[in-house]
Amino acid sequence: MRWSDLFIPTLREDPADAEVASHRLLVRAGYIRQLTAGVYSLLPLAQRARLKVINIIREEMNRIGGQEFLLPAIHPAEIWKESGRWEVMGENMFRLRDRKGADMALGMTHEEVFTSIARHTINSYRQLPQVWYQIQTKFRDEARPKSGLLRVREFTMKDAYTFDVDRAGLDKSFQDQYDAYCRIFTRCGLKYTAVEASSGAMGGSQSTEFMVRTEAGEDRIAVCPECGYAANVEKATSRLAEYQDEEDADKPEKFPTPGMRTIEDLTTFPGGASADRQIKTLVYALNDRLTLVLMRGDHELNETKLADASGALNIRPAHPEEIREALGAGAGSLGAVGVTRASHPEIDRIIADSALRSRRNMTTGANQDDFHLRGVSVERDIQVDHWASLRTVKAGEGCPECEGALDVFKAVEVGHIFKLGTKYSESLGARVLQADGSEVPIVMGSYGIGVERVMTAAVELYNDEAGIVWPESIAPFHVVITPVNIKDAELMSVAERIYAELEAAGIEALLDDRDERAGVKFNDADLIGVPFRITVGKKIKDGRVELFTRASRTSEDVQIASIIESLRAKLEATSE
């Protein structure tokens, strides 16, 4: 391709509204333009990179027996109502009405549609397993699109679905996908971590996210460098030091704490307690039923863990009025001692974090403003309905699986694989007959990759002050040829010859035939991030050109006759 024939609108200055590196660079280097919040046009360079990612995904999906489909993006409300997700998806789903007034939606994922195909066409265990996938546009009306292509409202997803007759089949299908995902991300040049994750609105028993570490990411993950334990903080647990609490009195003692409202206040109050000796009492509305959530004073609740532990779909902190009405005190003086369904009918249940198990001699609110209780023995004095891991792990805490210490860092989710089980096959009625004549719901898995996110994560991972540095496997071109002055006929004929030879050799080359000064061409080539550059300049007098490596920004002189060979060797070296 000749640069003069390609639309590459590079910008000399950074776009004003781009914060994260990938957003700034993709706009500046002429890859994307925004149409509206969270909706981007992909320009030719971006589309080339996107197609590289797609081809890698397609090859690896086909390799594990995947069959490619293309499903509609417009869905009737009915199937979403059948699965129950018409409600669950809430405002995140783009909804519309057709001319007859029928409710429709733009697809945010395709469990419903794939399952509806399966239920009509798969009747026997003999037709299983099936591995179905598609690469298609998804629509999600995100409350807050941000960070360029990292969080958008319209994007390409590879979504795959597996159908098996039993759990063992699902385990194998899941493992196949897991292995394929590892190959895909490795081939795309990403450094990634596979982590245990919460399944959220997808449902199902187990899920793994594929995360790329970057400050631009919105998820946080905990990783053990010793044993490889890795989990999203929405799921991660950690090992805490054991407490040997002193024996306390035989019942809690109420004491006045005028004006003390926070955990911090009580740590300095005479007769108070250190944060790890306090019980923090939070009030949440879970599906509009009030629940007391108990945490150790120095611990932070993770709301996703609370949602997972309680099974609640709608979860929010209770309003101050609700709290006072239910417990008779304001936030800051709350406690769970003596709270039962009989004594406090507004409180549906008490959920406690497992770090409070067996703790004694603790301090907590007395449900009376300006009073607290000390000498509280959790299991003696509080009727906990449900114990769960609710705490957000912190860096430096012990790994739950070995003696190591956890790291916690930000990451972006590029893929997520779920063992769905029978949630959708049951709600949508996709069943098969087994060999013994009994009927069972199909056991399903669901597996997604955000295509543009893969590209964007690569840009986050690989860039420098001059621009993007693409991994060779997904770069829009392998090499750019830069004749330093197009008016020099001799120089141009060398450049043209090298270009023709590269094309013939199957190496994707971009010939910068623009009538620009060398500096402009060099800067643009660095910006768009093509892995190699062949500079054709005055050294052709000695039969040489320069081979410049974008990643290291170093160049070496190469004989014109052996340039193809030299470049091929470098391409092969980096693609390992």
Instruction: Give the interface with RNA as residue ranges (CB under 7 A).
Output: 10-17, 19-20, 23, 34, 36-38, 92, 108-109, 138, 140, 142-147, 151, 157, 198-202, 218, 303-304, 307, 315-316, 413, 416, 448, 450, 466, 484-485, 487, 516-520, 522-527, 535-539, 546, 548, 553, 555
Q: Strand, coil or helix: what is 159?
A: strand
Nearer to RNA by C-beta: 125 or 447? Answer: 447
Nearer to RNA by C-beta: 335 or 529? Answer: 529
Min dist CB 486 to RNA, Å, is 9
Min dist CB 118 to RNA, Å, is 20
Nearer to RNA by C-beta: 39 or 505? Answer: 39
Kindly report whether the peptide bond that precedes residue 483 is cis, defined as omega within 30 degrees of 0.
no
Min dist CB 366 to RNA, Å, is 28
Rounded distance between C-alpha atoms, residue 283 and residue 327, angstroms? 10
Min dist CB 10 to RNA, Å, is 5
Nearer to RNA by C-beta: 297 or 483? Answer: 483
For residues 388-414, b (16+ Cβ closer than 10 Å) or e, as one string?
bbbbbbeeebbbbeeebebebbebbbb
Nearer to RNA by C-beta: 66 or 450? Answer: 450
Q: In 262-355, which ranges are continuous DSSP H helix?
A: 263-268, 303-310, 320-327
Min dist CB 161 to RNA, Å, is 13
Rounded distance between C-alpha atoms, residue 173 and residue 162, angstroms? 7
Owner of token pair 């019980």: 279
Nearer to RNA by C-beta: 199 or 257? Answer: 199
What's the DSSP call for residue 355? G
Rounded distance between C-alpha atoms, residue 372 and residue 344, angstroms? 18
Rounded distance between C-alpha atoms, residue 525 and residue 535, angstroms? 11
Nearer to RNA by C-beta: 280 or 359? Answer: 280
Min dist CB 207 to RNA, Å, is 7
- 346-349 long-range CB contacts below 8 Å, 24 or more apart? 346/290, 346/322, 347/290, 347/291, 347/292, 348/286, 348/289, 348/290, 348/291, 349/289, 349/291, 349/292, 349/385, 349/386
Rounded distance between C-alpha atoms, residue 185 and residue 232, angstroms? 18
Min dist CB 145 to RNA, Å, is 6
Min dist CB 554 to RNA, Å, is 9
What's the DSSP call for residue 318? P
Closest by Cα among 575, 557, 528 to 30: 528
Nearer to RNA by C-beta: 372 or 453? Answer: 453
Min dist CB 209 to RNA, Å, is 8
Q: Which two tokens mark 134?
A: 């598609």
Nearer to RNA by C-beta: 38 or 335? Answer: 38
Beta pairing partners, 433: 124, 439
Q: Which two tokens mark 555?
A: 């160049």
Nearer to RNA by C-beta: 218 or 503? Answer: 218
Min dist CB 181 to RNA, Å, is 13
241 dihedral zone (left: phi>0; alpha: psi -120 to 50; beta): beta
CA-only gyration radius of the chain, Å: 29
